[in-house]
Amino acid sequence: MREIISIHVGQAGIQVGNACWELYCLEHGIQPDGTVPSEKSIGGGDDAFNTFFSETGSGKHVPRCVFLDLEPSVIDEVRSGTYKQLFQLSNQKDERTRSYFIPQQLISGKEDAANNYARGHYTIGKEIVDLCLDRIRKLADNCTGLQGFLFFNSVGGGTGSGVLFFFLHPYLIIIKDFVLFLKKKHNDKFLICLQKQKGLGSLLLERLSVDYGKKSKLGFTVYPSPQVSTAVVEPYNSVLSTHSLLEHTDVAVMLDNEAIYDISRRLLDIERPTYTNLNRLIAQVISSLTASLRFDGALNVDVTEFQTNLVPYPRIHFMLSSYSPVISAEKAYHEQLNVAEITSSAFEPSSMMAKCDPRHGKYMACCLMYRGDVVPKDVNAAVGSIKTKRTIQFVDWCPTGFKVGINYQPPTVVPGGDLAKVQRAVCMIANSTAIAEVFSRIDHKFDIMYAKRAFVHWYVGEGMEEGEFSEAREDLAALEKDYEEVGAESLQNGVEEDEMEV
C-alpha cells in the first residue's frame, strides 16, 4: 500500500479539505458515518482507496488526514456545519454519532494568527506544532508504505503560511490555505492573527522535513489575487512563506481565488460565486490528480512521478493548473466534449487557476491527467495537435514535454451542485516560466511596503528578526532570475537556430 496523508492548515486549507473529502466519499460510496453499503464496490474493486482511507475493526473508513487551525471557529464549522454528520467527532458512548473523523484529527487552538506570519511561526504556532506532529506520526505509523503528503493552505494569512512548512516538509501536497475573511472584531488582534496563520504552515513544513525528509511533498497553495486582497500584509506573508516553500516542498500547485472566480462566473454562469463554489472546483482538480492513487487505470501516475516529470531543477517547482470541461448543469446535455476539445480548453489562458498568462512564457513540462471515457489513441492525437499550435511553446531543451495519465473512473459531482456530470475530463499541471509573473507581482507589493518598513513591527514583536525579510526577498529575487535564465536559454537557442536557417 502506498498511503497518502493530507494536511489541511488554516481557513483555506480546511475549507478546501472539506470539499475534497466530500467528493472523495461520493466517489467511493462512503456514507457520512464512514460505512459502505455492502452492495457498493469501493475503489474500482480493490483496496486502492485505502491510500486515502484507513479501515477500523468495526468496518468504518477514516480519512488519513489532519485538520489544523490556531483558532477553533473554522474547524467548529466542520464539526457543526452543513456536513456535520460527515465531520462530526466520534462519540464512544453513542455509536449513532460516529463519523469519518476521530477527535485527534481535528486540532484547533484558542487564538488566531491574525494574519501574522511571525505569530504563526514563532509564538502561537510553536505551542501547537508538537501536538500536530504527534497526530501526523500516529497516522504515519498506521501506514504500511507512506508515499507522501498532500498539503492544503494559503500563503496570504498567518496560520497557513507559517504552520504548514513546519509539518509538511517530509511529505506534502500543499494546497495553500485560502485566507477568506479578515477578522473585523479586533483590528489589532486581526493583524496579528493573520500573520500567525501563515507562519504556522512554514513551521510545520520545516519540522516535517526533519522527520520525513525523504517523503514526497506536494502542495496546493493559494496565492494572493492581483486585484483582490484579504489582508494588507499579504505581500509580507507570501514572500516569507514562499521562501520556506522553496526549500521544503517538492511540487507546489499555485491557485488564486480571483482566477477561479472568473472561471465560475464565465463558465458556470454564477453571478456571485461563493467560497463553496470555488472550493468544489478546486476539489475536482485534486480529485483528478489523485484518482490514479485511488482507482485502477490504464496509465496511473504515482505521486513521485509528478516531481520526476515536472521539476527540471529543484527550485523550479511551482506549477500552473487547469481543469476541463467546466460545464454548468444546464448546458451538460448539449456540450459533451471530446478528448481533443477538453485538451485544447485546458491550455487556454482563461482556464488557468492562477492569474498568469502562459503565452508570456514557455512550458518546461506538462502533466495531463485524464479520467472517464478516454482511450490512449485519442490522447495521442490531442497531444499531437497541441504540439503544433504556435501559441503553446515549449523550451527546446525538453523535447518530450508531456506526461500523461489515464484513469477510467469518470468524474463525480456533488448532487445539486453547479458542475455538470460529464463523461470525461482532464486536469493539467504544467511547469511554465510564465509563473514568474505571480512572484513579480508579490515582490513589487512587498518592496513598496518594506521600503517604509510598514507593519514590520508586528512581526518583530512576535520574535522574528527583521533580517528575515531581506533574506526571503533576496531568495525570491533569485527565483525570478532562475525563471528568467531558464527562458533565456531557450530563447538564445531559438535565435541561433533561426540564424542558421537564414
How many helices, marked H, and strands, marked E, lie in the chain?
A: 16, 13
Element (H, E) at 217: strand 216-222
Q: Are 428 and 345 in contact (CB under 8 A)?
A: no
Q: Is 231 exposed, middle or buried (0-12, 13-18, 19+ CB in 10 A)?
A: buried
Does 95 qualify as catalytic in the annotation? no
CA distance 86 to 415: 15
How does DSSP classify residue 225?
A: P
SS3 314: coil
CA dist 280 and 120 (Å) reads 27
The owner of cell 507512506 is 146
Q: Is the dihedral of CA 103, 107, 108, 109 positive or negative?
A: positive
Non-local (6+) Cβ contacts of 370 within 8 A are 339, 379, 404, 405, 406, 407, 424, 425, 426
Three-state DSSP class for residue 456: helix
- Residue in this structure with the C-alpha cell 508515499, named with its chain if needed: 147
Q: Are 438 and 446 in contact (CB under 8 A)?
A: no
Interatomic CA distance for residues 282 and 17, integer angstroms: 10
Catalytic residue among 77, 247, 305, 489: 305
How far is 378 from 433, CA to CA, in rounded Å?
28
**Helix ranges, 218-326 (H):** 234-248, 257-268, 275-294, 303-310
Q: How far is CA 97 from CA 24, 54, 84, in A?
A: 21, 19, 10
Which residue in the block uniquely carries the three cell numbers 489589532? 188
One DSSP character per residue, 376-417 reads: HHHHHHHHHHHHH-TTS-B-TT-S--EEEEEE-SPP---TTS
Is residue 324 within 8 A of residue 345, CB to CB? The reply is yes
Residue 434 exposed, middle or buried by CB count within 10 Å (0-12, 13-18, 19+): buried
Active site positions, annotated: 305
